[in-house]
Structure 1
Amino acid sequence: MIISSGTGVAGSLAGSEGDKRFPPALARDAKSPCNKAYKAYVAAGGHSAYATTPYTRVMSLYILCGSSLNAPSQKAAEAAAMKSCVATRAHYKVTNGGACEIAASK
């Protein structure tokens, strides 16, 4: 009889930061929407993505973001996160600063 430890855990992405393309800038306020979205992204067990505007001290005083949790695939999660981030930019009528980029996905 062979017993395997960790059965049922395989395949879960919960707690993983996934493929980080760049470290996302997060506000100091732990209750900010982008901090909450990034923490939810890391905690998600399925394919997920976090998109954000790149933060540069000289150009922008804000951080906008979008995320997608537990999508059918990593590619679908990235597309939904980008759509969410772009919609946030449009909602706040942001015309300067950087465009949305995928910061991390899994």
Structure 2
Amino acid sequence: MISKYCRKSTVSILAGLLIVAAPSAEAGGSLAGSKGDVRYPITIPTGTVGGCGKAYAAYIAAPGHSAFAATPIVPATEYFICGGWINASSQKAAEEQALKSCQASKSKYKVTVAGACSIAASK
């Protein structure tokens, strides 16, 4: 009879612990959906052609360490160049690769009036 009551209370205690532990287990998991460390606001201008909008969306959706680099968006400047890197081994590695990607895009398109590439956001 005593074991019957102990079993019920043990199940209740374990259920309570599971409810408390579930949110903390989720916090250490995926970075998907997170904007991460935003260094300056990222607004993809309307009518922008190219893959910057898709690259930023992929950065947000990425579950691992990722970064998004871009040139400043200035109204007087015609060009906006970006680069990204998703699911790197660390945040620092993602930032380095995103900067390289942005600079490679500037070189590929031979754009000199877009400004310097910098990390806009990383996680």
Give the TM-score of the pair, scaled to structure 2. 0.78
Within 2, Cα distance between the matches of 1:84 and 1:97? 15
Match of 1:103 in 2: 120
Within 2, Cα distance between the matches of 1:13 and 1:29? 29
Residue 48 of structure 1 and its aligned partner are, at CA, apart by 0.2
Check the 8 A contact 2:65/2:87 in 1, yes or no: yes
Match of 2:35 in 1: 17
Higher RCO by CA contacts (8 Å cutoff, separation 6 or greater): 1
Q: Which has the larger radius of gyration?
A: 2
Within 2, Cα distance between the matches of 1:8 and 1:32? 38
User: What's the secondary structure of 2:94's corresponding residue?
Assistant: helix
Across the aligned residues of Structure 1 and Structure 2, the Cα RMSD in angstroms comes to: 1.8
User: What's the secondary structure of 1:49's corresponding residue?
Assistant: strand
Stretch deviating more after TM superposition (28-37 or 72-81): 28-37
The 5-angstrom pairing of residues 11-90 of structure 1 reads: 11-29=29-47, 32-58=50-76, 60-90=77-107
Stretch deviating more after TM superposition (17-26 or 66-75): 17-26
Check the 8 A contact 2:66/2:84 in 1, yes or no: yes
Within 1, Cα distance between the matches of 2:43 and 2:69? 11
Higher helix share: 2
- Paired amino acid for 1:39: A
Within 2, Cα distance between the matches of 1:5 and 1:69? 27
Within 1, Cα distance between the matches of 2:57 and 2:50? 11
Shift in CA distance, 30/54, structure 1 to aligned 2, threshold 3 Å: closer
User: What's the secondary structure of 2:22's corresponding residue?
Assistant: coil
Give the TM-score of the pair, scaled to structure 1. 0.89
Shift in CA distance, 20/54, structure 1 to aligned 2, threshold 3 Å: same
